């Protein structure tokens, strides 16, 4: 079973990677960009029947730093 | 207008980051994981009316390395 996990910085947390992408886009002539936020996207292939609690634990313990990041679990 | 871009490694391309996550999950006792692929998730805040062609160009020129990565653009 495929599970997608999206990890994003919490609002208000500085995002130097996003800032760098924004700056580079402007340098390439793409002026119509107001903001860029960079995050991670993790595709997990887990055995069928993996519980939501297990997926939550994977995110909270390893995949995301919950002090500064939010995560979203999506079962397609 | 918010636009989400997902960048993933093409199938067959080695993914050391995903391998490391997989190994760490096993070390934490999560045995039911068959595979992990790591990718990037980029939230763009662009002006309304930005064309699909512009978004494609941003991805092809900067956000993704199209030799080894695929990208997917999603307008929520």
- Alpha helical stretches, state H, A1-76: 16-27, 52-58
The verdict on a CB contact (< 8 Å) between B58 and A25 is yes
Structural domain total, chain B = 1
B58 CB neighbours in chain A (<8 A) are: 25, 28, 30, 33
What does DSSP assign to residue A74? E
| DSSP one-letter string for B14-48 | --HHHHHHHHHHHHTT---EEEEEEEEEEEEEE-T
Residue B35 C-alpha, separation from nearest chain A C-alpha, in angstroms: 5
> Can you give the pLDDT at residue A48?
93
As a whole number of angstroms, the distance between CA B42 and CA B4 comes to 6
Q: What CATH number does residue A50 fall under?
A: 3.30.1280.10
| Per-chain mean pLDDT for chain B | 96
Predicted confidence (pLDDT) at residue B76 exceeds the cutoff of 90: no
The verdict on a CB contact (< 8 Å) between A25 and B62 is yes
Query: What's the distance, Cα to Cα, between the start and end of chain A in Å?
Result: 9
Boundaries of domain holding B69: 2-74
Decide if B70 touches A, using CB distance below 8 A: no
Residue B7 C-alpha, separation from nearest chain A C-alpha, in angstroms: 8
Average pLDDT over residues B59-69: 97
In a 3-state reduction of DSSP, which class is residue B65? Answer: coil
Average pLDDT over residues B45-53: 95
Predicted confidence (pLDDT) at residue B13 exceeds the cutoff of 90: yes
Report whether A5 contacts A60 (CB < 8 A).
Answer: no
ipTM rounded to 2 decimals:
0.90
pLDDT tens digits for A23-61? 999 999 999 999 999 999 999 999 999 999 999 999 999
> Can you give the pLDDT at residue A76?
74
What percent of chain B clears pLDDT 90, i.e. is strictly above it?
97
């Amino acid at each position: 079973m495929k599970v997608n996990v999206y990890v994003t910085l919490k609002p208000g947390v500085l995002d130097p990677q996003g800032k760098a992408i924004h700056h580079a886009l402007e340098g390439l002539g793409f002026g119509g960009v107001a903001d860029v936020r960079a995050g991670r996207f993790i595709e997990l292939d887990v055995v069928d029947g993996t519980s939501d609690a297990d997926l939550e634990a994977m995110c909270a313990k390893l995949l995301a730093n919950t002090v500064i990041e939010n995560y979203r679990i999506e079962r397609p």
